[in-house]
Amino acid sequence: MRSSSDEPSALGSVKRSLYSDLLHAFLKERETLRMAGWVVSDPGSPAWWDDLRSPHEIAIAAVLVQLNSWEKVKEAVVYLRERGLADLRALSGLSVERIDSLISGINLHKSKAERLKRLAELYLEKGDELFKQYETLRSIKGIGEETARAIMLFAGNVMTVPPSDYLSRVLSRVLGVKLTKEEASKDVLRALGSLFQLKLFYAGITTVGKLFCKPRPRCEKCIIKAHCKYADEATGSGTSLTLL
Ligand code: SF4
């Protein structure tokens, strides 16, 4: 494990121990993660994303998922797969209009078709390296930091953490300190030392954010309530804390 460069080592060590407890909880609750679409798998496997089968499918899904439900996105990826088109090389040979017609069930399908076409063209230039290149991914209109880093982590197997609202909200409450999504992302990256840990942590936190840690949290059923400062203080005082 790497040591934190900008916080006292005692605090860094307490935090690493807490993150380790969270990882154990996520591993134990892998069935709950499964309900949220995450499959705990080998570190380099694409199956983490609801049993998707390749880095290409992950990149395609990452582009489609903004403003769409995961169920719709999975359906679209399977539809492409059944036609041999869930592959950026195959998509690069299609017109934007044709891609648009193939993903017509997706919200904002026209702009998503343009993004997929651009992603596919870049894949022809860069090959699998594309999945590791932050600046190249960000050069595609509509691909923000979270999407780029999600592709890098799950398709490119790069040690990075997508800065998400779930990450910020859940970690702020667990630690009892308000963190921006960028701060939360950097903190997790500093504390965890392997690709498997980063993927498991991100999948677990996203599951908690989606199922339990909503704007009004459902701590009673939460899988990490034993490790959460917010839940601890709320139970101890019997009062509702200001929502972090
Ligand atoms: S215990 Fe409550 S506040 Fe803590 S992470 Fe779970 S839902 Fe959020």
> Looking at residues 75-102, what average pLDDT do you find?
98
Is residue 10 over pLDDT 70? no
Handedness of CA 203, 137, 134, 108 (dihedral sign): negative
For residue 235, the model assigns a pLDDT of 76
According to the CATH classification, is domain 9-38+161-237 in 1.20.58.220? no
Residue 175 and residue 231 in contact, taking contact as beta carbons nearer than 8 Å:
no
Q: Give me the count of residues in the chain.
A: 244
| Domain spans of the chain, in order of start | 9-38+161-237, 46-154
DSSP secondary-structure letter at 94?
S
pLDDT digits (tens, 9 = 90+) for 193-242: 899 999 999 999 999 999 999 999 999 999 999 999 999 988 764 444 44
What angle, rounded to 10 degrees, do the helices at 181-191 and 165-175 form? Answer: 70
For residue 49, what are the β-bridge partners? 38
Superfamily for 46-154? Hypothetical protein; domain 2 (1.10.340.30)
ipTM surpassing 0.85, yes or no? yes
C-alpha separations of 127 from 62, 107, 132, 157, 191 in Å: 18, 28, 10, 14, 31
Burial of 131 (0-12, 13-18, 19+ CB in 10 A): buried
> Looking at residues 9-30, what average pLDDT do you find?
86
DSSP secondary-structure letter at 4?
P
DSSP class per residue in 43-66: TT-GGGBTT--SHHHHHHHHHHHT
DSSP secondary-structure letter at 244?
-
Q: Among 213, 221, 232, say which to mutate for ligand 1: greatest number of ligand atoms within 8 Å of CB.
A: 213
Q: Which two tokens stand for residue 50?
A: 């609801």
Would you say the CB of residue 203 lies under 6 angstroms from ligand 1? Answer: no
For residue 144, count other CB atoms closer than 10 A to its CB.
14
Would you say the CB of residue 212 lies under 6 angstroms from ligand 1? Answer: yes
Would you say the CB of residue 228 lies under 6 angstroms from ligand 1? Answer: yes
Q: Rounded to an integer, what distance in angstroms lies between the CA atom of residue 149 and that of residue 160?
A: 6
Same fold, 9-38+161-237 and 46-154: no
Would you say the CB of residue 219 lies under 6 angstroms from ligand 1? Answer: yes
Which amino acid residue places its CA nearest to atom 2 of ligand 1?
Answer: 219
Residue 38 and residue 207 in contact, taking contact as beta carbons nearer than 8 Å:
yes
DSSP class per residue in 185-241: HHHHHHH--SHHHHHHHHHHHHHHHHHT-SSS--GGG-TTGGG-HHHHHHHHH-SPP
Would you say the CB of residue 225 lies under 6 angstroms from ligand 1? Answer: yes
pLDDT digits (tens, 9 = 90+) for 49-83: 999 999 999 999 999 999 999 999 999 999 999 99
pLDDT digits (tens, 9 = 90+) for 167-198: 999 999 999 999 999 999 999 999 998 999 99
Is residue 5 over pLDDT 50? no
Is residue 121 over pLDDT 60? yes
Q: Among 166, 173, 211, say which to mutate for ligand 1: greatest number of ligand atoms within 8 Å of CB.
A: 173
Is residue 8 over pLDDT 70? no
